[in-house]
Structure 1
Amino acid sequence: MAIPEGKIVALLGSNGAGKSTMLKAVSGLLPSERGEISDGSIMFDGKDITRMDAAERVRTGLSLCMEGRHVFEHLSVHENLVAGAYSRGGASTEDFDRVYTYFPKLGDMRARVAGYLSGGEQQMLAIGRALMARPKLLMLDEPSLGLAPLLVQEIFGYIRALNEETGLTVLVVEQNARRALEVAHHGYILEQGRIVLEGTAAELNENPDVKEFYLGLGDEGRKNYRQVKHYKRRKRWL
């Protein structure tokens, strides 16, 4: 899998396909779960970072927003952002201004305790905290998880704006394929730990299998058991 500089890439797949494991491999978090990269390598900005520890990867320019947001609930919004800049040795006024410009709601509630924010506000804070590290590559794990449709649309709007206005490279892992492909330039389909399909967002949007299994745009009508077995076999793209 390749992530071109300045582009948004979507990694799609069902539960258990290996999407979060892929992100943990890239961000260096696999060892914390007694995992390891047993084959292949991870290249970033021309360097092999396969054996680099997670903290060093952050300093190199990788930033991950984990699934479930994981804000520091007992700290204020502003203090959460301060923590995001720890790897760089501290934040500047410019860093805070950038986050508050893209997420005005955070600016209005900078003194509020993060644990009392709504799910959408916590997701904005998680992304803002990641931006404080000034990443070259921002990785988002299920940013739409648990959010209402209007909030999902708002979050993906922020992602698109960050990419278009700052050139930030983004890798977004999502089950909401429709939303992800609306903002992505390129996409990959992951099944049982393997990349089984890739293409531009437009190509994936028009692919019959992607429509059937990820966009809910397959043929109308009820399917009998034999048809379902046929679709499951076809989904493997083998």
Structure 2
Amino acid sequence: MTSSGDSGGQPGVLPAGPADERDEPLLAVNNIEVIYDEVILVLRGMSLEVPRGAIVAMLGSNGAGKSTTLKAISGLLPTEHGEITDGSITFAGADVTTMDAADRVRKGMSLCMEGRRVFEHLTVRENLVAGSYTRGRIGDSDLDIVYTYFPRLHDLRGRTAGYLSGGEQQMLAIGRAMMAEPTLLMLDEPSLGLAPLLVQEIFGYIARLNDELGTTVLVVEQNASRALQIAHHGYVMEQGRIVLDGSAAELRENPDVKEFYLGLGDEGGRKNYREVKHYKRRKRWL
């Protein structure tokens, strides 16, 4: 698989590996069903695959179930009274459906939650050190890798995290996740609340991590345009299930994605709410 965008900050050719590793996805979500509080059905037969070394984007509106999907993958559902009641999740060839969240981190998963969630009363350096707790060790070389990709964090390493800007906190959240040396980095709405130039900068960092370190990335986004610029493959999610998937290039040219996620209707304008409701009733993607 090759990059879906131009060179220069965009992902390149995916790193080659043993044939069996290339053929088997790093992550496979197999027809899972998720229920909260034993009654609220949120995911309804959700399935997706994340190939080794790829950037995969999951798109969808608020309430589609994107964040729940990430929590199911990372093992955080029990903290919110949720559970997987059907289906399975495999990671690196092993079934992790019932695995503890900390064990999933040790296995190579790392999640940046929506809203950044930095430890506000700790310094930048202390936040980064906290990200390596599952490894049981830390050296200056580990911090140096993060500082190489986020030089601003080096300048701010003694600053209390709660006083950082939104963009700096997002860099810190990603850097903290990197400290666990993840094979799979999951990002929940990394552009949330950031100015357009900062969004471009953050997605540039994500592309570099994939291109230079070979980190596999699953990014959940409402900013479909930006996500599809760096992704290799994308999924569109509605009402707890996948309704459309394809290469990033295919999704960028798909008329439905253009109209309802990129804001580019066939006639150059947005349809009114009545027509959008009609579109949803027809369920053209199901």
Q: Which amino acid aligns with 2:280?
A: K
Matched, 1:5 2:52: yes
Q: What is the CA deviation profile of residues 42-66 of structure 1, one whole-angstrom value per residue up to 9, with x for unaligned ones?
A: 0000000001010100000000000
Structure 2 residue aligned with 1:200, among 238, 242, 247?
Answer: 247
Q: What is the CA deviation profile of residues 61-82 of structure 1, one whole-angstrom value per residue up to 9, with x for unaligned ones?
A: 0000000000000000000000
Please state how far the C-alpha of 1:221 moved relative to its aligned partner.
Answer: 4.5
Q: Which residue of 1 aligns with 2:118?
A: 71
Q: Percent identity?
A: 77
In 1, the alpha carbon distance for the partners of 2:91 and 2:128 equals 25
Q: Which residue of 1 aligns with 2:256?
A: 209
Q: How many residues align?
A: 238
Please state how far the C-alpha of 1:231 moved relative to its aligned partner.
Answer: 2.5
Q: Which residue of 2 aligns with 1:178?
A: 225
The structure with the largest strand share of the pair is: 2
In 1, the alpha carbon distance for the partners of 2:199 and 2:116 equals 14
In 2, the alpha carbon distance for the partners of 1:16 and 1:38 equals 20
Q: Note the residue ranges of structure 1 that are not aligned, 5 or more in a row.
A: none
The 1:223–1:17 alpha-carbon spacing in structure 2 relative to 1, beyond 3 Å, is closer
Please state how far the C-alpha of 1:229 moved relative to its aligned partner.
Answer: 3.6
Runs of 4+ aligned structure 1 residues displaced above 2 Å come to 219-236
Q: Which amino acid aligns with 1:217?
A: L
Within 5 Å, which residues of 2 pair with 1:35-184?
A: 35-184=82-231
In 2, the alpha carbon distance for the partners of 1:57 and 1:45 equals 11
In 1, the alpha carbon distance for the partners of 2:248 and 2:49 equals 15
SS of the residue corresponding to residue 128 of structure 1 reads: helix
Please state how far the C-alpha of 1:224 moved relative to its aligned partner.
Answer: 5.5
SS of the residue corresponding to residue 38 of structure 1 reads: strand
Q: Which residue of 2 aligns with 1:237?
A: 285
In 2, the alpha carbon distance for the partners of 1:67 and 1:61 equals 20
The structure with the largest helix share of the pair is: 1
Query: If the length of structure 2 is used for normalisation, what is the TM-score?
Result: 0.81
The 1:109–1:221 alpha-carbon spacing in structure 2 relative to 1, beyond 3 Å, is closer
Q: Which residue of 2 aligns with 1:15?
A: 62
In 1, the alpha carbon distance for the partners of 2:276 and 2:103 equals 47
Query: If the length of structure 1 is used for normalisation, what is the TM-score?
Result: 0.97
Please state how far the C-alpha of 1:166 moved relative to its aligned partner.
Answer: 0.6
Please state how far the C-alpha of 1:236 moved relative to its aligned partner.
Answer: 4.8
SS of the residue corresponding to residue 215 of structure 1 reads: coil
In 2, the alpha carbon distance for the partners of 1:168 and 1:210 equals 27
Partners of 1:10 and 1:171 within 8 A in 2: yes
Please state how far the C-alpha of 1:83 moved relative to its aligned partner.
Answer: 0.2
In 2, the alpha carbon distance for the partners of 1:88 and 1:226 equals 53
The range that moved more, 88-97 or 156-165, is 88-97
Please state how far the C-alpha of 1:92 moved relative to its aligned partner.
Answer: 1.6
Please state how far the C-alpha of 1:225 moved relative to its aligned partner.
Answer: 6.2
Partners of 1:209 and 1:235 within 8 A in 2: no
Computed over aligned residues only, the root mean square deviation of the Cα atoms, in angstroms, reads: 1.3
Q: Which residue of 2 aligns with 1:27?
A: 74
Partners of 2:259 and 2:270 within 8 A in 1: no
